Structure 1
Amino acid sequence: MPAIPRPRFRLSWFFAFIATVLLGVLLVISGLAGAGIVNDALGHEPVGTGNVPRAVLEGGAVVDAAHTPVSSRSVPEGTIALTFDDGPDPRWTPEVLAVLRKHGVRATFFVVGSRATSHPELIRAIHQSGSELAHHTFTHANPVEMPLWQLDLELDQTQLAISGAAGVTSYLFRPPFSSMAASIDDLGYRTVQEAAARGYLSVFSDTDSDDWGRPGVETIVRNSTPPAGEGAIVLMHDAGGDRSQTVAALDILIPSLKQQGYRFTTVTAAVGLPPANQPAPGDDRFAGGVLLGVVGVAIGVVTVLQWILLGVGILVVARLLLMVLVARRHARRVPGWSLLPAVTAPVSVIVPAFNEKANIEVAIRSIVASTHPIEVIVVDDGSTDGTAELVEALDLPGVRVVRQANGGKAAALNAGVRHARHDLIVMVDGDTIFESETVGRLVRPFADPEVGAVAGNVKIANRATFLTRLQHIEYVVGFNIDRRAHDVTGSMPTIPGAAGAFHRAALTDAGGVSRETLAEDTDLTIAIGRAGWRMVYAADAVAWTEAPTSVRQLRQQRFRWTYGTMQAIWKHRRAILQRGAAGRIGRFGLLHVIAFQILLPVTAPLIDVFLVYGLFFLNPVTTLVLWLSVLGIQTAGAAYAFHLDGESKRVLWMMPAQQLVYRQLMYVVLGQSLGAAASGIRVRWQQMRRTGALEAMARRADTTVQDPESTVESNLVSDVDSPVPAPAAGVPGDSPARRAG
């Protein structure tokens, strides 16, 4: 019985999982610490007061429910205890403290724990000023809606925040969304009891300034002034919005009440209680310090991510400008090729093949059907699936098979160049089919003697699945737009291996196809550009390729591409500082690749990360509108790219999936590539498993052409916007394919 293979444990995936979880935790911590304060007026709907003792409803603002009978304390006549809720705030708390210091007044600050962890220096400033620190929960959530475990957590974390920042504890607590003691209902009193069971006195107010609504300085002063001679705990705010009116009113209120004979003090001093702030135990100070450190790291990480997100936005806008301006300019230049002298020189088409049996027949037949004079050299790189035998059995004219031991794609291409009879050379992958005019259109730019290489327009043929349609969008919006931009700026970094044309002299100047990187096409292209040759993009030279149909195959393919591109960039890094043609491809081509193929993909998921972050911790409506706006801009750019490429825009309904699904997959691939590059490991070339999709599609296309009355639409017709050429009917086959090598 064969052994059951054990699943492999991938350390990289483990670390990626840990990093993702850690980032999620930091985002949650930062979100809680920076959450906005909701208006205190938006409390719960009042219920009955049957369970609230008369001593509370008719008593003072400081309620002690820890003892029986329940009691309350009132502020004596001529005494004012100023209290400030919802802080600290980096803008307004210092201004409030400055006014208090100016008039020699202490107050009591009911701080929100999350804000205390964000601004521990302000907690220390409040304590050092002589004012009191008190609790206002950790997240400013409504206590009446909390389960007991959450209230415990809210109080404990706020206590730790105060202990870590100022080294003291506090036993005073004011429930958010509360007002005067006379307004306590059964739900509110339950919170008072639960807080009392944990050692807290609940503090309400006698006078509400209503400064939250910013009614004007005079109104705030009037609201904060108690009836003549009566003592009061005055409710004000030092955070939660623009508190400029509060600061201005405070500067008027204090001297005004002092002139009336009032004295100002803290809540505990006003009602004859021990100071609220006592030295915190060592364990609490340590735990509080850890809490502050974790929150500080979380806020720092999110701040950095926000700056990176700004950079992502700049790159997105820059890419849109490339689409609208540079790519449009290229599209207008394309007809200019027809003004050049016709290129009639014969072409050598090289097809490197390793286990390409599934698609090689349709690929070779499509090339042989070219309207341009050609020879075809199939270099079998040690195939084990009978690829060479199949090509020989086709018995097609002008087709030669070169066999060699497996040495990799670069070695196969170099072998093909050595056997090529002509100076114009087209390289095409074994999973790619040409239209009849493709070769002629590829070599047409060689009428300009400065042109050394030409990139073809590679399209996805098998667009029938979700994954391949997403790749179709990527090819049109990403690769083809990039090539248009590189053509205009003279900085082409990649002539695609699936469809590229080269002048033999350019290949010689570049030293042939290098085996030093996994992206031999990018490596070769940069070398040709550095040698001073011009490289262009022929958008009308269309080639059709088979895209990976599984996530695993796609990941393997893109990992090789990405890792190889990084290798090529590193190999040619000095081009960035060179002059002339080398400097142009370095500063425009390589930096473009770094910006839009590395930096943008690796950072673009932040758009989606902050979508989730904003829905939970920011304004969800604003967040969603911004995210949809970015998606709309990208979709508009994609629509323009599809217009330039002559593609149907029906598939663009999948743009949200392109952003939410495909982008994340590419992010994983890029992360793996960066990890591999950083670790210095060697990566092997990986062969994609072929499905024969090209042959099946070409046959269906041939059937459709021969039977125009057929009412059965093939997948090719329904899923591919431009027709894949059928193999030419009646291709001559009266002479065998010759073997060489």
Structure 2
Amino acid sequence: MTSEGHRRSLLRRRRRRRLRRLLVLPLLLTALTVLLLRGYVHSEFLADHRVRPEAPSDRVPWEVREGGPVVDTGGPRPVGHRVPDHMIVLTFDDGPDPVWTPKVLDELAEHDARAVFFVTGAMAARHPGLVRRMVAEGHEIGLHTFNHPDLSYQSKSRIDWELAQNQLALAGAAGVRTYLFRPPYSSHAHALDNESWPVVRYVGSRGYITVLNDTDTKDWARPGVDEIVRRAVPEEAGAGAVVLMHDAGGDRSQTVAALDRLLPELKARGYAFTNLTEALRAPSAHTPVSGPELWKGRFFVLAVGVAERATSLFIAALTVVGLLVFARLGLMLLMAGAHGRAARRRAALTPEPVTRPVSVVVPAYNEAECIAHTVRSLVAGDHRVEVVVVDDGSRDATADIVEGLRLPDVRVVRQANTGKPAALNNGIAHASHDIIVMVDGDTVFEPSTIRELVQPFADPAVGAVAGNAKVGNRDTLIGAWQHIEYVMGFSLERRMYDVLRCMPTVPGAVGAFRREALERVGGVSDDTLAEDTDLTMAVHRDGWRVVYAENARAWTEAPETVRQLWSQRYRWSYGTMQAMWKHRRAVLERGPSGRFGRVGLLLISLFTVLMPLLAPLIDVFLLYGLLFGPAQRTAAVWLGVLAVQAACAAYAFRLDREPLTHLVSLPLQQVLHRQLMYLVLLRSWATALTGGRLRWQKLRRTGAVDSAPAGIAKPRHMQGSTTV
């Protein structure tokens, strides 16, 4: 490639990287903003549920306490107003509610009555259509604060904020402002005391009229329809009144039923149900809003609507991921039991063991730290092998180290650096036997690994065998997390896929293939970054069985830093997506290929792509619930899910004969490791959408795994055996 071509290629890669960030970051910021906004409008941020007890009232002016329920403190002296005789002003607090407010409005419309709705900003922003309906049908709107705190506990700045946000929601919902105000937890004028009176006086100085009540139905307590009607009727016949009711805050069926009786009964007695300003012959409570104030309100209400709908989608996605998590766990446990029973049946049949020699191909690129451990473990096994190490243009002494070992039946093939798939194909071409074992250059085998790995080839229908890859460097926190993932996820999952005959991946660390199967599918392809998954899917589609040999254990060096883990999983995740897309036609095919497509690809899509992408919602809603919701219930649910996962992990560890000590880090693994995998998958999606193609990302090895860890329990059939 010319220097100019190289420069253009580099610029294209940089543009793709920037585009991936532009795809990922807005998603994360949007999700965070949506949840914060939802917490805001659901009164979960600044909610203050304290209610002040009754206090002395000696500083409340007499003319206010005895003057009437409508208090105006904007003039030189406070004034209390009463509703004229034979007029009823129905008032409804705490709404609008999507269930009960429409029913209340329907009753008012049926009886041609008007009312005043004291709405909270949080509810008005969430249900703007109901506010618009109130205004359109001739009712008045009053402020009831944004999220319903007892204002006697609040500072003046907090009171100003509650009123301003309430007005903002009202402007966005209906395009109007109002000067009517009712304090939360208020009652009659004569109930004002030394703590609540300063609030009324301050709100009056801001241009508001405070509306209290003459009769309180206490419908919030659901005392019964008869009692609500009795309390709503003025004690003095013919006297006017401001009646307090509620259209939100709980079950308001009794309120609706009471209206159906109250309205015709009082109308028959000569009462009129009117707006407050009409009753007092005052200017309309509503002032149209225009300009920036209107657009700010509309934007706020629009954002709240988006947040509400997005949160509903998040909750639906959380439900989906919950179902997927438990479906996966249940299916894996069920299939693990079936796998064990099938293994015992096969053992009872005592088939002729596979004893013919096999070829082991080891692709190696800069593996000087660990290649000697790998090769020695291969030739020290109890099955006859030839080892072909393909040095893929290493810049270190990998090939020289192998040749310096001078081990029998070990050959080194050198080639220019052309990638792992080409190295594997070159190794297969130089192999002498019809069973090919593929091993990564950083992996150590147990003495029995190859023998266990090749036994399934006694069945001529078997084209490939997946071994049991184990994490050798598990003593760090990151290593322990990967150890849990390998045992609980990969090992348990492979048992499931084995029973369902749709094994998606024969791992590059430990896997075996029949030469005929490799030749029929054209060898190892470099079309994807997950060449092992691509090859396994191709073998399935060619009609071969792919099985799992749980006792063929190999110990590999897992990434030891977050950056290395990111790099590895990014390649795995993106490569798996590539392989799925490449073999997508299997869904429409017949026979074994169709079975793999309709079962295997479906399960991979659900459990490997969709579930990990949605799984972080569990932790997001955990954090959300702890901060803004019922913290104890949220924590109990999350701990319950964790307990189920811990039980499943313990079962998987028991199947793999692993000590349970590393499960101590499971809670952290479920939170931190899952977030990392989520980001990896999200970036993989971004890479796929932007058309990027990742290069091979070689991990730096330390040679930490030089042999199979001591103290690991042997399978029962090996106990007491000697090492050859």
Same fold by TM-score, threshold 0.5 exceeded? yes
**Aligned-partner Cα distance in 2 for 1:249–1:335:** 72
Q: Of 630, 635, 647, which residue of structure 2 is paired with 1:636?
A: 647
Could you say what secondary structure the match of 1:233 adopts? Answer: strand
Q: Of 145, 148, 166, which residue of structure 2 is paired with 1:140?
A: 148
Could you say what secondary structure the match of 1:422 adopts? Answer: coil
| Residue identity matched to 1:349 | V
Equivalent position of 2:11 in the other structure: none
CA contact (8 A) 2:142 2:179 kept: yes
CA contact (8 A) 1:178 1:204 kept: yes
Report the Cα offset of residue 198 of structure 1: 2.4
Q: Deviations over 1:472-525 (max 9, x none)?
A: 111111111221111111111100000001100011111100011110100100
Q: Of 117, 121, 124, which residue of structure 1 is paired with 2:129?
A: 121
**Aligned-partner Cα distance in 2 for 1:519–1:39:** 51
Equivalent position of 2:253 in the other structure: 244
CA contact (8 A) 1:342 1:447 kept: yes
Could you say what secondary structure the match of 1:187 adopts? Answer: coil
Q: Of 414, 430, 434, which residue of structure 2 is paired with 1:423?
A: 434
- Determine if the alignment matches structure 1 residue 351 to structure 2 residue 362: yes
**Aligned-partner Cα distance in 1 for 2:458–2:622:** 51
In the TM superposition, what are the counterparts of 1:360-371 in structure 2 within 5 Å?
360-371=371-382
Equivalent position of 2:82 in the other structure: 74
In the TM superposition, what are the counterparts of 1:640-719 in structure 2 within 5 Å?
640-695=651-706
Report the Cα offset of residue 389 of structure 1: 0.8
Worse overlay, 59-68 or 365-374: 59-68
Q: Of 270, 276, 283, which residue of structure 2 is paired with 1:267?
A: 276
Shift of the 98–496 alpha-carbon distance from structure 1 to 2, 3 Å rule, reads: same
**Aligned-partner Cα distance in 2 for 1:467–1:37:** 35
TM-score by length of 1: 0.90
In the TM superposition, what are the counterparts of 1:14-53 in structure 2 within 5 Å?
16-35=24-43, 43-53=51-61
CA contact (8 A) 1:331 1:644 kept: no
Could you say what secondary structure the match of 2:466 adopts? Answer: strand
CA contact (8 A) 2:93 2:144 kept: yes
Q: Of 227, 230, 238, which residue of structure 2 is paired with 1:222?
A: 230
Report the Cα offset of residue 643 of structure 1: 2.5
Equivalent position of 1:456 in the other structure: 467
Could you say what secondary structure the match of 1:340 adopts? Answer: coil
**Aligned-partner Cα distance in 2 for 1:346–1:289:** 76
CA contact (8 A) 1:32 1:617 kept: no
Report the Cα offset of residue 379 of structure 1: 0.9
CA contact (8 A) 2:364 2:391 kept: yes
Q: Unaligned regions of 5+ residues in structure 2, if any?
A: 1-13
Equivalent position of 2:527 in the other structure: 516
**Aligned-partner Cα distance in 2 for 1:567–1:124:** 51
| Residue identity matched to 2:683 | Q
Worse overlay, 353-362 or 63-72: 63-72
Shift of the 337–318 alpha-carbon distance from structure 1 to 2, 3 Å rule, reads: same
Q: Deviations over 1:241-289 (max 9, x none)?
A: 1110111112122223334433322222233322212322343332222
**Aligned-partner Cα distance in 2 for 1:55–1:455:** 89
Q: Of 317, 324, 338, which residue of structure 2 is paired with 1:315?
A: 324
| Residue identity matched to 1:356 | E
Percent of paired sites with the same residue: 52
Q: Of 293, 318, 322, which residue of structure 1 is paired with 2:302?
A: 293
- Determine if the alignment matches structure 1 residue 164 to structure 2 residue 195: no
| Residue identity matched to 1:206 | D
CA contact (8 A) 2:49 2:150 kept: no
Shift of the 145–645 alpha-carbon distance from structure 1 to 2, 3 Å rule, reads: farther
- Determine if the alignment matches structure 1 residue 398 to structure 2 residue 409: yes
Report the Cα offset of residue 730 of structure 1: 12
Q: Deviations over 1:618-648 (max 9, x none)?
A: 4333333332232222222222222222222
Report the Cα offset of residue 66 of structure 1: 1.9
CA contact (8 A) 2:447 2:723 kept: no
**Aligned-partner Cα distance in 2 for 1:254–1:511:** 84
Equivalent position of 2:10 in the other structure: none
Equivalent position of 1:555 in the other structure: 566
Worse overlay, 333-342 or 433-442: 333-342
Shift of the 235–37 alpha-carbon distance from structure 1 to 2, 3 Å rule, reads: farther
Equivalent position of 1:89 in the other structure: 97
CA contact (8 A) 1:40 1:178 kept: no
Shift of the 130–382 alpha-carbon distance from structure 1 to 2, 3 Å rule, reads: same
In the TM superposition, what are the counterparts of 1:593-608 in structure 2 within 5 Å?
593-608=604-619
TM-score by length of 2: 0.92
Equivalent position of 1:619 in the other structure: 630
In the TM superposition, what are the counterparts of 1:572-587 in structure 2 within 5 Å?
572-587=583-598
| Residue identity matched to 2:156 | L
**Aligned-partner Cα distance in 1 for 2:206–2:25:** 39
Could you say what secondary structure the match of 2:705 adopts? Answer: helix
The count of corresponding residues between Structure 1 and Structure 2 is 702
**Aligned-partner Cα distance in 2 for 1:628–1:413:** 46
| Residue identity matched to 1:569 | M
**Aligned-partner Cα distance in 2 for 1:583–1:142:** 65
Shift of the 366–40 alpha-carbon distance from structure 1 to 2, 3 Å rule, reads: closer
Report the Cα offset of residue 617 of structure 1: 4.1
Could you say what secondary structure the match of 1:199 adopts? Answer: coil
| Residue identity matched to 1:675 | A
Q: Deviations over 1:119-161 (max 9, x none)?
A: 1111111112211111111222332333434333322222232
Equivalent position of 1:5 in the other structure: none
CA contact (8 A) 2:50 2:149 kept: no
Shift of the 178–650 alpha-carbon distance from structure 1 to 2, 3 Å rule, reads: farther
CA contact (8 A) 1:41 1:177 kept: no
| Residue identity matched to 1:300 | R
CA contact (8 A) 1:42 1:177 kept: no
- Determine if the alignment matches structure 1 residue 258 to structure 2 residue 258: no
Q: Deviations over 1:106-125 (max 9, x none)?
A: 11000111211221111111
CA contact (8 A) 1:467 1:549 kept: yes
Worse overlay, 546-555 or 590-599: 590-599
**Aligned-partner Cα distance in 1 for 2:48–2:439:** 69
**Aligned-partner Cα distance in 1 for 2:360–2:648:** 35
Equivalent position of 2:458 in the other structure: 447
Report the Cα offset of residue 35 of structure 1: 4.6
Report the Cα offset of residue 729 of structure 1: 12
CA contact (8 A) 2:149 2:184 kept: yes
Shift of the 646–117 alpha-carbon distance from structure 1 to 2, 3 Å rule, reads: same
**Superposition RMSD in Å:** 2.5
Equivalent position of 2:68 in the other structure: 60
Shift of the 730–228 alpha-carbon distance from structure 1 to 2, 3 Å rule, reads: closer
CA contact (8 A) 1:84 1:236 kept: yes
Shift of the 107–578 alpha-carbon distance from structure 1 to 2, 3 Å rule, reads: same
Equivalent position of 1:706 in the other structure: none
CA contact (8 A) 2:24 2:686 kept: no
**Aligned-partner Cα distance in 1 for 2:521–2:188:** 83
| Residue identity matched to 1:57 | R
**Aligned-partner Cα distance in 1 for 2:594–2:722:** 48
**Aligned-partner Cα distance in 2 for 1:467–1:722:** 26
**Aligned-partner Cα distance in 2 for 1:605–1:97:** 42
Report the Cα offset of residue 40 of structure 1: 12
Worse overlay, 26-35 or 493-502: 26-35
| Residue identity matched to 1:426 | V
Report the Cα offset of residue 722 of structure 1: 7.9
Report the Cα offset of residue 652 of structure 1: 2.4
| Residue identity matched to 1:295 | V
**Aligned-partner Cα distance in 2 for 1:431–1:523:** 21
| Residue identity matched to 1:522 | T
Shift of the 39–117 alpha-carbon distance from structure 1 to 2, 3 Å rule, reads: closer
**Aligned-partner Cα distance in 2 for 1:223–1:642:** 67
In the TM superposition, what are the counterparts of 1:305-344 in structure 2 within 5 Å?
305-338=314-347, 339-344=350-355
Worse overlay, 272-281 or 446-455: 272-281
**Aligned-partner Cα distance in 1 for 2:714–2:152:** 63
Report the Cα offset of residue 309 of structure 1: 1.4
Equivalent position of 1:100 in the other structure: 108
